[in-house]
Structure 1
Amino acid sequence: MLYCFSCLQKKFNSLTSMDGRTELQMLSFEAPKVRLLRCLSIEGNDGMEVLDFAVFPKPEFDLPIFCANFFTAASTNIVVLDLNPLHAVTDRDDYKEKYYRHLIPLGLKYAELLPWGGKITSESLRFFSPIVVWTKFSSSQNYYDVLFSAFKDYYKAWLELMEQATEEIDTSEIVSNREAQHRYLMWRAEKDPGHRLLRRLVGEALAEEILRSFLFNGVQELGSKTFLDYFPEYRSDNGTINEKRSMIGKSFENRPWDTEGNFLGNSLRW
């Protein structure tokens, strides 16, 4: 598959933080089945390193979204690696069977090699698959080779799904895919924890632009619904968005899927 630079590349390429100590590099591409492949890497002189890599399919394809987030600081590492489902795998058995059933052994392999990252909210779980790698570990624990292997394996799995994907011709299905991706983007743009880091590095206005126009591009383009249209439970009494990370009140301390990929909690409605 041939990738070419996205139209975003001219505007979003490289930045230096306000204090001049941290470099931000951005790349973006598109392809026949890919609406946007984008990558943000951050490297500071204090040992902080960030990689935020994602691939968003075009709405004509109901492919999962490839997601790889790596954060390294002096004492800790935080990682999320997943093929984020476009549609809820807790409610759509057909979607889970189509994309994840044959990948469960891959998820189990890395579940055994990497520690579970601790509490995760029900809201976040709606956008994760049964094979998600969610891990935290100290810098004294050397999991880097395992993580590199996991990244390669997961990206290869996504590429194979993409190669097999056929274009949807049913207009209602395309509309459903577009709204599902828009919902995902609205959640990430509003609740992504990286917002605080970007705000500290480049200021509020530029951080907001990077989030909505680059990292989660499509917030304006793919739909007109607002965050509160999708997630009304976050509406405060004054009509603004509650800044809490979780409004459902349920979190999971351990991996909430069994070895068959079945969710162990109640269904997570979208």
Structure 2
Amino acid sequence: MTTPPAPPQPCSLDPVVLDGWRWAPFLDHAVEALQRFHPVAYPVEEPFLRQEGATGSKANPVPVTTATWACSTDKLRQVRAACVEAGNAASVLNFVINPSSGFDLPFFGADLVTLPSGHLIALDLQPALKTDTQHTSRVWERLMPLWEHWQNFLPSGGPIPTEAEPYFSPGFLWTRLPLGDPGDDLIIKAVFPAFVAYLDLYLQLVREADPVDDERRQDLLAGQQRYVAYRAEKDPARGMLTRFHGVEWTESYIHGVLFDL
């Protein structure tokens, strides 16, 4: 007689501890907000839960930690955070919510990156089917007021590549900020409340979402697969992670954890 598998464990309210990690308040808020959806742990293989490495010179190495937190709910296939802390070299939170194809929902995406050159900030509710107004119009009419408000406080990050446009909404909040002031001050006064507002809207859409029929599910799944394939191919963190942890680990992490659909 075989032993039945253990039930999934609830997600921890204290998922990632990285010394000196500036993005901890953002992930802590997201994890707390998700608890109302009764999340369970999403399976992540042991080598990708926490990986230690180093960067810098042999004479003066800088320790690096990359940690992963992931959960799922009945409407969200995978919610995951990739967290990197490498001292002055990098501090990163890449937080993505992948909806189930059984519900007509966009992706939630947040990239919060600190590098020696400054802070790179990106927030969006990203469409799976950008040209499908049934998928986008009800989202964008509620997202655009948030974008219009918060972009007044933040400088534009510049144009995005033409090939990326199908995977971003018109409410894509994208900025570059300097290290120190005023950049650090804007992270507290504008970036964090914008993150909260975008996530609150997304979770409201999740609460409102009803199941779709099989035909619509297949259309959404195809769109999600295109999105995930693009993100895996163009992941801007590939070079950084390769320097920190090597090619084999990085490619397995990108394709098997970050973008695993």
TM-score under structure 1 length normalisation: 0.76
> Is the 8 Å Cα contact of residues 61 and 174 (structure 1) preserved in structure 2?
yes
Counting helix residues as a fraction of each chain, which structure ranks higher?
Answer: 2
**SS of structure 1 residue aligned to 2:252:** helix
> Is the 8 Å Cα contact of residues 88 and 116 (structure 2) preserved in structure 1?
yes
* 1:44 is the counterpart of 2:80: no
**SS of structure 2 residue aligned to 1:12:** helix
- Whole-angstrom CA distance in 2 between matches of 1:113 and 1:23: 32
How far has the Cα of 1:17 moved from its partner?
Answer: 1.4
Which amino acid is 1:42 matched to?
A: V
TM-score under structure 2 length normalisation: 0.79
> Is the 8 Å Cα contact of residues 52 and 69 (structure 1) preserved in structure 2?
yes
Query: Which residue does the alignment assign to 2:108?
Result: 66
Query: Which residue does the alignment assign to 2:49?
Result: 13
Q: Could you report, residue by residue, the CA deviation over 1:42-81 in whole angstroms, capped at 9, with x for unpaired residues?
A: 0112252000001101110120100000110233111111
Q: CA RMSD in A?
A: 1.4
> Is the 8 Å Cα contact of residues 5 and 30 (structure 1) preserved in structure 2?
yes
- Structure 2: gaps (5+ residues): 1-36, 56-61
* 1:110 is the counterpart of 2:156: no
* 1:96 is the counterpart of 2:136: yes
Query: Which residue does the alignment assign to 2:28?
Result: none
- Number of residue-to-residue matches in the alignment: 215
> Is the 8 Å Cα contact of residues 62 and 86 (structure 1) preserved in structure 2?
no
Which amino acid is 2:234 matched to?
A: K
- Whole-angstrom CA distance in 1 between matches of 2:46 and 2:220: 28
**SS of structure 1 residue aligned to 2:122:** strand
Q: How does 1:115-264 map to 2 (within 5 A)?
A: 115-140=155-180, 141-142=182-183, 143-145=186-188, 146-168=190-212, 170-218=213-261
How far has the Cα of 1:95 moved from its partner?
Answer: 2.6
**SS of structure 1 residue aligned to 2:167:** coil
> Is the 8 Å Cα contact of residues 12 and 27 (structure 1) preserved in structure 2?
no
Q: Could you report, residue by residue, the CA deviation over 1:98-152 in whole angstroms, capped at 9, with x for unpaired residues?
A: 2111221111011111111012111111111111111112113331111111111
Q: Could you report, residue by residue, the CA deviation over 1:148-191 in whole angstroms, capped at 9, with x for unpaired residues?
A: 111111101100000000011x2111111111110000001001
**SS of structure 2 residue aligned to 1:100:** helix
Q: Could you report, residue by residue, the CA deviation over 1:216-260 in whole angstroms, capped at 9, with x for unpaired residues?
A: 111xxxxxxxxxxxxxxxxxxxxxxxxxxxxxxxxxxxxxxxxxx
Which amino acid is 1:86 matched to?
A: A
- Whole-angstrom CA distance in 1 between matches of 2:141 and 2:135: 9
Q: Where has structure 1 moved over 3 Å in runs of 4 or more?
A: none
Q: Which has the higher contact order (CA 8 A, sep 6+)?
A: 1
- Whole-angstrom CA distance in 1 between matches of 2:159 and 2:143: 24
- Whole-angstrom CA distance in 2 between matches of 1:31 and 1:11: 24
> Is the 8 Å Cα contact of residues 143 and 198 (structure 2) preserved in structure 1?
no
- Whole-angstrom CA distance in 1 between matches of 2:178 and 2:40: 38
Question: Which one is further off, 7-16 or 110-119?
Answer: 7-16
- Structure 1: gaps (5+ residues): 219-270
> Is the 8 Å Cα contact of residues 99 and 105 (structure 2) preserved in structure 1?
yes
Query: Identity of aligned pairs, percent?
Result: 27
